[in-house]
Amino acid sequence: MMIVLTGARIFDGERFFDDHAVVVEGDRVAAILPYSERPHGPARDLGGGLLAPGYIDVQVNGGGGVLFNEDPTPEGIARIAAAHRKHGTVGLLPTLVTDAPQVMAAAIAGTREARQLTPATLGIHLEGPFLDPARKGAHELRHIRDLKPGDIATIVEANCGAVMLTLAPNRVDAASIAELARHGVLISLGHSSASYAEARAAVKAGAHAFTHLFNAMSAPAGREPGMVGAALDLDEAFVGIIADGHHVHEANLRITFAAKRHDRFMLITDAMPPAAGGPDQFDLQGRRVTCADGCLRLDDGTLAGSVLTMDEAVRYAVNVVRLPLADALAMASRVPATFLRRDAELGRIAPGYLASLVHLDDELRVLETWIEGRPTADGSKRDELAGNT
């Protein structure tokens, strides 16, 4: 079924179009055309606003009251995805914080099954357990451990879409990083007091990214750039940043924007259960986490994820950090799609790409979200794009 979307400005992932229409056929974009060239057939006037590629979040611990560690099932993942979908997220990696081996196994199995049921499930992010205890953040110390050969087998045989693994480069040797990367695992460096040299060696061995830049990692000093310095210096490495005004000072986002290739800068949420409509308090492995003033903390004051959603991250990047709108939108869509190696079908509005889109108002608030041609922003009044028009 074809439908023509009109009436909104269009951002295709790189540039803006006025007075153009998006033609959708089934689950794919067929064309972006001037109004004068649009085909005859069912049409929908969006009534203004901006139509952009849907958001992709590579670090989602939970949302809508669900914590992935506590409910690593297809049903739990579906509930998390549904909560974030209302905020423009069309694809995500359910993220498991450091936990017991059996929980990791359950999370991998649950994600594998969810991939068949929930199109927004693009894979899994294993944040740990191969971390540096000195930079553990809110991760439970008793579950942090060294990487063993059996762990490598478990991870490379996950068979659940993209597999992102956050590890500490001062705790995992370069040969193991190279072996994981050779099998397609997306290695991200984080929760580590590693030196610049250790981080650089890990990237040269095959690591791809840095997890929540500036948080739980060694900071620059005069003669030691640390993890942060390595992330900013190494052109090929992606960085994810929690743009919520609590985790990272706005000036550090501007510094990163100035230092990094813009096609390597991703907005992430690190969202926990209170995000996207969940209760303000929850338990993380037996420890209470409370939301106060928009910030999640353990009782000892340690930051414990966020209540951020991707639409809020984009608004913060534009309205507070003052990044260009095109860059902020790309950081929430095209760049993570590239990191996940899904940039041939996600992160753009272009012929052949999945019709996974977000419609925003003039204040960048989500009006509607489509995943593979189906509107799903808020349990929407329409069942599919070609519905009652």
Residues in the annotated binding site: 127, 138, 191, 212, 215-216, 223, 247, 303-305
Angle at 147 between CA 105 and CA 180, to 5 degrees: 80
Find, among 72, 83, 75, the residue nearest to 116 by Cα.
75
In this structure, how many other beta carbons lie within 10 angstroms of the beta carbon of residue 239?
27
Q: Are 11 and 53 in contact (CB under 8 A)?
A: yes
Residue 358: HSE in the Cβ half-sphere, 13 Å Cα cutoff: 30
DSSP string covering 153-173, please? HHHHT--SSEEEEEE-TTTS-
- Residue of 71, 99, 132, 270 marked catalytic: 270
For residue 93, the Cα-to-chain-centroid distance in whole angstroms is 7
Residue 159: left if φ>0, alpha if ψ -120 to 50, beta else—which one?
A: left
Q: How far is CA 145 from CA 56, 132, 181, 289, in A?
A: 30, 9, 20, 23
Q: Are 288 and 256 in contact (CB under 8 A)?
A: no
For the chain, the first-to-last Cα distance in angstroms comes to 13
Q: What's phi and psi for 30, nearest 5 deg?
A: -95, -35
280 is catalytic: no
Q: Which residues are part of a known binding site for substrate?
A: 138, 215-216, 223, 247, 303-305
Three-state secondary-structure class, residue 84: helix
Rounded Cα distance, 264 and 261, in Å: 6
Rounded Cα distance, 64 and 80, in Å: 6
Q: How far is CA 243 from CA 204, 332, 364, in A?
A: 28, 11, 15
> Which active-site residues does the annotation give?
270
